[in-house]
Amino acid sequence: MRIDRQIDRMDIAELKAELETLHSASFGWALNCCRRDRAEAEEVLQMVYLKILEGKACFRGEASLKTWLFAVIRKTAIGEHRKNILRKLRWSDGSEATRTLVSPLEQPGAAFEKSETQALFQSAMKSLPRRQREALHLVFYQDLSLSEAAEVMGISIGSARQHYDRGKKRLREYLGQTESAYGISWRGKENPGAV
Amino acid sequence: MELVGEEKRIQALFSEARHADEQTTPTFVGVWNRAQSKTIRTPRAFNLSFVAATALLVCALVSLAWWVNRSPRSQNVLVANAPPISNVVPKDVQQPGGFEPANDPGSKPVTQPRSGERSRALILAARRQAVLVAASKKTLRDAKAIESWQSPTATLLDSPSEGLLKTLPQMNQSVDELKSFLPNQPK
């Protein structure tokens, strides 16, 4: 029993070092899974680490650590999202107001997303269906291959490719539309007397 | 994956977002430590909930037992369900002189009531059995006393020819001796 515990501790120490190297990418993925809610993403990541510490999530080496970790984050985020929806249904809107006050990391992110292109890009991403958003994020943000993305999402590579292509197409369309609209308004603002 | 045209633009947008996210990422140590502190707290919560659940279960069992004891209907059921005395032999009662209660060969096995009722029925049956065994002990003692009783005038009934009356003549006895047994001898 004591030897087992020592082995577990050693494994956890090794895993901790690996997780530390992946922490930034994990947070980015958690952000994507939580619709860019930083407080929720942090909570999800904490829950994932808790699952690993308690042995509820166990890495068996069947996939790469990164894809395994991302799959755990994805599942946890989906579970948390469901719980939040139920909570919102149960409680009044007052709790929502307090929640927005509590999240301390909201401010810098919000400031960043005010930069025009990023704001457009983020709103375009939010408009996409979840699977398409996930596929794009895993490929472009995390530099994963489509097969790895499919593994994280728990779908076949064919489906992943379909989500990726559709997502890319929709994102391009959305960005094109909004940019042209923004360009017109921008020119209007720039030279109001011309109109 | 090789990227072309629009894809490069999308890639650039994503990498910009990644840089911004990296700046606002919470420290790994902070998140890890918070998770670790939660794991330390979780077993205590489990223990408390376990203790509470056990206490509730014990309370429920005690109240159920009390209710079963108090209910008059259950008493009647117990008496009705009590197995026949012949089938129940208490361990602490010693059978005198190998006396054993008679088992009916034709009797059918009694249907077993539930465990709580059964134990109560067994106690009742044991009491009844003890009373019966005590009574049978007394009867046996009385029977033995009667068997060994002798009348005070029994010695007066003895006669000198009692030996002859109680024994049979043997084949190797002489004829004269046999004749002496005959009632009417010709003279």
Average pLDDT over residues A36-60: 89
Return d(Cα A67, Cα A151) in angstroms, integer. Answer: 7
pLDDT at B165 exceeding the cut of 90: no
What does the DSSP 8-state code read for residue A61?
S
pLDDT-derived band at A177 (thresholds 50, 70, 90) equals confident
Which comes out higher in pLDDT, residue A80 or B187? Answer: A80
Name the residue facing A140 among B11, B24, B26 (closest C-beta).
B11
A144's enclosing H/E stretch is none
DSSP string, B138-172: HHHHHHHHHHT---TTGGGG--TTHHHHHSPPPTT
Say if A77 is an interface residue toward chain B (CB within 8 Å).
no
Return d(Cα A54, Cα A48) in angstroms, integer. Answer: 10
Q: List chain A residues with CB under 8 Å of B39.
A: 50, 53-54
Say if A27 is an interface residue toward chain B (CB within 8 Å).
yes
Q: Which two tokens stand for residue B154?
A: 């029994």
Amino acid making up residue A164: Y
All structural domains of chain A, each given as residue ranges with its CATH number in brackets, are: 1-104 (1.10.1740.10), 115-195 (1.10.10.10)
Say if A42 is an interface residue toward chain B (CB within 8 Å).
yes
Tell me the HSE value of A23 on the side-chain side, using a 13 A CA sphere. Answer: 20
Q: Are A32 and A133 in contact (CB under 8 A)?
A: yes
Task: Determine whether the interchain pair A137/B14 forms a contact, defined as Cβ–Cβ distance below 8 Å.
Answer: yes
pLDDT at A14 exceeding the cut of 70: yes
Name the residue facing A141 among B17, B23, B26 (closest C-beta).
B17
Return d(Cα A87, Cα A66) in angstroms, integer. Answer: 31
pLDDT at A100: 47
Nearest-by-CA chain B residue for A17 = B28
ipTM: 0.74
Average pLDDT over residues B103-127: 69
B103 CB neighbour count, 10 Å cutoff: 10
Q: Which two tokens stand for residue B131?
A: 């009373």
Q: For residue A41, give the nearest of A67, A74, A15, A66 by alpha carbon.
A: A74
pLDDT at B41 exceeding the cut of 50: yes
Q: What percent of chain B has pLDDT over 90?
A: 23
Residue for token pair 């709103």:
A123
- Which of A15, A23, A31 would you mutate first to test chain B, the one with the most B CBs within 10 A? A23
Say if B184 is an interface residue toward chain A (CB within 8 Å).
no
Amino acid making up residue B79: V
A48's enclosing H/E stretch is helix A38-54
Q: Are A80 and A43 in contact (CB under 8 A)?
A: yes
Average pLDDT over residues B39-61: 81
Which comes out higher in pLDDT, residue A90 or A154? Answer: A154
pLDDT at B79: 53
Average pLDDT over residues A59-81: 90
pLDDT at B107 exceeding the cut of 70: no
Measured CA angle at A152 (ends A148, A154), to 5 deg: 110
Instruction: List chain B domain ranges.
Output: 6-65, 72-93+114-146
Chain centre to alpha carbon of residue B186: 82
Q: Are A22 and A69 in contact (CB under 8 A)?
A: yes
Q: List chain A residues with CB under 8 Å of B42.
A: 54
Name the residue facing A46 among B22, B23, B35 (closest C-beta).
B35
Residues of A (3-22) whose Cβ lies below 8 Å from B: 16, 19-20
Say if B40 is an interface residue toward chain A (CB within 8 Å).
no
Return d(Cα A135, Cα A167) in angstroms, integer. Answer: 8
Q: Are A161 and A171 in contact (CB under 8 A)?
A: no
Task: Determine whether the interchain pair A118/B20 forms a contact, defined as Cβ–Cβ distance below 8 Å.
Answer: yes
pLDDT-derived band at B27 (thresholds 50, 70, 90) equals very high
Which comes out higher in pLDDT, residue A107 or A21? Answer: A21
Q: For residue A48, give the nearest of A8, A15, A20, A76 by alpha carbon.
A: A76
Say if B39 is an interface residue toward chain A (CB within 8 Å).
yes
Return d(Cα B28, Cα B6) in angstroms, integer. Answer: 34
Main-chain phi, psi angles of B122, to 5 degrees = -65, -40
Q: What's the predicted TM-score (pTM) here?
A: 0.53
Amino acid making up residue B145: A
Q: List chain B residues with CB under 8 Å of A168.
A: 6-7, 10
Q: Which two tokens stand for residue A110?
A: 């919000």
Return d(Cα B1, Cα B100) in angstroms, integer. Answer: 94
Of A56-65, A154-163, A165-174, A177-186, the poorest mean pLDDT is in A177-186
